[in-house]
Amino acid sequence: MHIPDGYLSPETCAVLAAASAPALYLAARRLSQESESAVLPRVAMASAFGFVLQMLNVPVPDGTSAHAVGAALAAILLGPWGGMLAMTVTLVIQALFFGDGGILALGANVFNMGVLAPAAAYVTYQAVGAGSSAGTRRLVGAVLAGYLSINLAALATGIELGLQPLLFRAADGTPLYNPYPVELAVPAMMLAHLLVAGPVEALLTGLIVGYIQRVQPDLLSRHAPGAGGWAWLPLALVLGLLVVLTPLGLIAQGTPFGEWAPEELAALLGYVPQGVAELSGRWSGLLPGYTVPALADVPGGVVVGYLISALVGIALVTLTWLILRQILARPRVRP
Amino acid sequence: MADLAADPGSAPGPTLTLPVWLGQGSAPAAPTEPVEGRVRLDFVARTLVTTLEVVQRTLFAEEVARRDGLLQRAVPGLKILSFLALILAAGLSRSLAPLALLYGSCLLLTVLGRLDFRSFLLRTWLVVLVFTGFIVLPGMTSLVTPGEPLLVLLRFESEARLGPLGLPSEVSITRQGLTGGLMVMLRAATSVSLAAVLTLTTKWFELLLGLQALGLPAAVGMVLTLAYRYIFVLLAVARDMYYAWQARVMGASVGRTGRMLGAAAAYALFFRSEALAREVHQAMLARGFRGRTTFASRRPYSVGASALLGAITLLVLLGAYVLG
């Protein structure tokens, strides 16, 4: 998962480093509020722990042994901010002193494994184990956090690598960086992570959290689901990053299967089915094609339209969830 | 030894009677089969090998950094800036000629850093070929990078199919694919080599000194220093735990027991790291830490060496720019 130098363009690395910076700034500020002088050794020791954790091999069911990346475990044990900083410092030391991951690619590696993975792990752990002091749900939360966090990081890595031949080609078609497009890079990354690395990470995260739960459960309750008033921030962070990435959809060629407009159907089939012709024009949506009609002719208006569509979508889903919560969570008073 | 339990009354005075099972000779150990081919390490051995490699690499880097080479005598800030500029130039290079020039300059720097040239080449190219070569190879074919065919690898009959997939009439290595693949490999080799030369010829605190001169906040430098130093403390803890396990348990330690050991080891490490953080914080307070950190170096830096490194870097950057 550690991307070496040479596969990503410096421009991609710079953008990803800039995307990671606000999260890391927030993390540093959040931790320094706890105790100014105590935060330095805490983050340092957590990073040293994260580094050594990646060396602890454990037997896995296929007869070999493997080690965890540790992003989920760091987020569960240290909280989202501590987890992000610990993973980032670990990645910096790995790149600078052990040649694991490139120096220019550090921005991308920090984005994938230092920010996205711990944030996703913490959100998952919160969502599944929320409101539960019992062990089973927390354990399931930890296992899912391990599985999802490493797969999300792998997906981001696949997308970053896959974008290179689309964005950076010489005039004669020579790929300047990674030659594999998204449709090859993403499946290649995801197959290995969904089937092998993900289950291993889930197993190890679950084992360690289960063990700690048995011998010293108070270690887990410091960053337990629901603790602290800033629990929504990692979720906001993940959603924010996804919103920023939505214009990538503009690069994709063609129309997904089954989502053809009547004109495209006509081109494909030679005719438009009667039902489609009757129903297709009745409702075109508030933001047709994820664009804002008023911005259609403005330079960059399509990208802005994508971002606005993503924000409106999130707002609508949140509103629906709030209304449903009000209805379903209302105490029922029997007469 | 085998008769002690059988004849308890032969010695005069008070006698010590051994239980029968203790007097019996142990069964001879089963002859060990000679191991052929590659030995498959269990998880304990793999952990020990990995921790040993980290320590070995660090000791080797410390030894190289103490040598009296031109790179070792250059001012750390300038050295870091030079290497970063060269790595960035490799990243931005979009044809083979500037990359070849940058790689050549890296080899020159290897000599100036008094590194063992042959083992350095072997190490870096092994990493590049294993991690980049095999990955890039399919990307050179027309399946991934269409273009002008240079070498036809496979030719199919027209309209040949593999299940539902239609096969192309031929699979070839294309000029665009070959150039792109070589560029990725050469860029990776240059970046890996430059990073290795920088970190091998610079002591840890000199690297931090240089980074601080370039604007790294002191607090971040301190976190990096603490983390780096305590990695070895925690590595020793992990190594001792696995040695203790190896010394006390007979037979292969696999399956559930092994996984529980891994979980316990991770817990113990986390617990130790938390305790260390508290101890270090108390030690900092006891020594009057007020949030200011400085790094000092006793090595005399050479202006001539720094100027020569700067001049080489500028010339190479200029050359790479001219070559495109």
Concatenated DSSP letters of B144-201: TS-S-EEEEEEE--TT-EETTEEPPSEEEEEHHHHHHHHHHHHHHHHHHHHHHHHHHS
Give B324 or A152, the one with higher predicted confidence.
A152
Q: Measured between alpha carbons, how far is residue A309 from residues A313, A320, B48, B267 in Å?
A: 6, 16, 52, 45
**A192 in the same domain as A75:** yes
CA angle A80, B218, A77 (to 5 degrees): 20
User: What pLDDT band is residue A135 in, cutting at 50, 70 and 90?
Assistant: confident
pLDDT digits (tens, 9 = 90+) for A277-320: 777 766 666 666 666 666 667 666 676 777 777 777 777 777 77
Please report the pLDDT score of residue B282 as a whole number.
85
Tokens representing B34 are 């000679």
Work out the percent of chain A whose per-residue pLDDT is above 70.
71
Picking from A166, A192, A196, A194, the residue whose alpha carbon sits closest to that of residue A63 is: A196
Asked if B266 lies within 8 A of A53 by C-beta distance, the reply is yes
Q: Is residue A314 part of a domain?
A: yes
**A182 in the same domain as A322:** no
Q: Is residue A200 part of a domain?
A: yes
Asked if A10 lies within 8 A of B234 by C-beta distance, the reply is no
How high is the mean pLDDT of chain A? Answer: 78
CA angle B78, B56, A84 (to 5 degrees): 65
Cα B55 to chain center, whole Å? 10
pLDDT digits (tens, 9 = 90+) for A84-95: 888 998 898 888
CATH number, domain at A124? Answer: 1.10.1760.20
Burial readout B63-101 (b: 16 or more C-beta within 10 A, e: otherwise): ebbeeebbbbbbbbbbbbbbbbebbbbbbbbbeeebbbb
The answer to whether A187 and A151 are in contact (CB under 8 A) is no
pLDDT digits (tens, 9 = 90+) for A67-76: 778 889 888 8
Closest-approach residue (CA) in chain A for B50: A55
**A301 in the same domain as A214:** no
Please report the pLDDT score of residue B82 as a whole number.
94
pLDDT digits (tens, 9 = 90+) for A239-287: 777 766 766 666 665 666 666 677 777 777 777 777 777 777 666 666 6
User: What pLDDT band is residue B2 in, cutting at 50, 70 and 90?
Assistant: very low
Please compute the mean of the pLDDT values over residues A4-12 and round it to a whole number: 88
pLDDT digits (tens, 9 = 90+) for B137-178: 888 888 888 888 888 887 777 666 666 666 777 788 888 888
Please report the pLDDT score of residue B6 as a whole number.
44
**A289 in the same domain as A226:** no
Please report the pLDDT score of residue B30 as a whole number.
44
Those of residues 149-168 in B touching chain A at CB distance below 8 A are none
Report the DSSP beta bridge partners of residue B166: B161
**A130 in the same domain as A23:** yes
Picking from B234, B210, B132, B138, the residue whose alpha carbon sits closest to that of residue B177 is: B138
Q: Is residue A235 part of a domain?
A: no
pLDDT digits (tens, 9 = 90+) for B6-16: 444 444 556 66
Those of residues 253-282 in B touching chain A at CB distance below 8 A are 253-255, 258-267, 269-271, 273-274, 276-278, 280-281
Residue A267, burial from CB neighbour count under 10 angstroms (0-12, 13-18, 19+): exposed
**A291 in the same domain as A214:** no
Sequence-distant (≥ 6) Cβ neighbours of residue A117 within 8 angstroms: A69, A71, A72, A75, A87, A149, A150, A152, A153
Q: Is A103 helix (H, G, I), strand (E, B) or coil?
A: coil
Report the DSSP beta bridge partners of residue A175: A169
CA distance A208 to B243: 20
Please report the pLDDT score of residue B88 as a whole number.
93
pLDDT digits (tens, 9 = 90+) for A103-130: 899 999 999 999 999 999 998 888 887 5
**A294 in the same domain as A221:** no
**A142 in the same domain as A58:** yes
Q: Residue B281 pLDDT > 90, yes or no?
A: no
End-to-end CA distance of chain B: 84
- Number of folded domains that form chain A: 2
Q: Is residue A294 part of a domain?
A: yes
Q: Is residue A264 part of a domain?
A: no
Q: Other C-beta atoms within 10 Å of A119: how many?
A: 29
A230, A250, A270: which is the final residue of a domain? A230
How far A173 CA sits from the closest chain B CA (Å)? 6
CA distance B289 to B298: 23
Please report the pLDDT score of residue B80 as a whole number.
92
User: What pLDDT band is residue B1 in, cutting at 50, 70 and 90?
Assistant: very low
Which of B50, B258, B267 faces A208 most closely, judged by CB atoms?
Answer: B267
Q: Residue B32 pLDDT > 50, yes or no?
A: no
A192, A208, A230: which is the final residue of a domain? A230
Tokens representing A50 are 């994260």
Work out the percent of chain B whose per-residue pLDDT is above 70.
79
Work out the percent of chain A whose per-residue pLDDT is above 90.
8
pLDDT digits (tens, 9 = 90+) for B229-254: 888 888 888 888 888 877 777 665 56
CA distance A75 to A113: 11
CA distance B135 to B244: 40
Q: Residue B308 pLDDT > 80, yes or no?
A: yes
Asked if B180 lies within 8 A of A179 by C-beta distance, the reply is yes
How far B269 CA sits from the closest chain A CA (Å)? 7
Closest-approach residue (CA) in chain A for B124: A99
Q: Is A3 helix (H, G, I), strand (E, B) or coil?
A: coil
Q: ipTM score here?
A: 0.76
Please compute the mean of the pLDDT values over residues A51-80 and round it to a whole number: 77
Range of the domain at A129: 10-230
Q: Is residue A248 part of a domain?
A: no
A230, A247, A273: which is the final residue of a domain? A230
Q: Is residue A144 part of a domain?
A: yes
The answer to whether A115 and A24 are in contact (CB under 8 A) is yes
Give A225 or A277, the one with higher predicted confidence.
A277
Please report the pLDDT score of residue B237 as a whole number.
86
CA distance B90 to B98: 8
CA distance B119 to B108: 15
CA distance B87 to B84: 5
How far B194 CA sits from the closest chain A CA (Å)? 10
Asked if A93 lies within 8 A of B227 by C-beta distance, the reply is yes
Q: Is residue A214 part of a domain?
A: yes
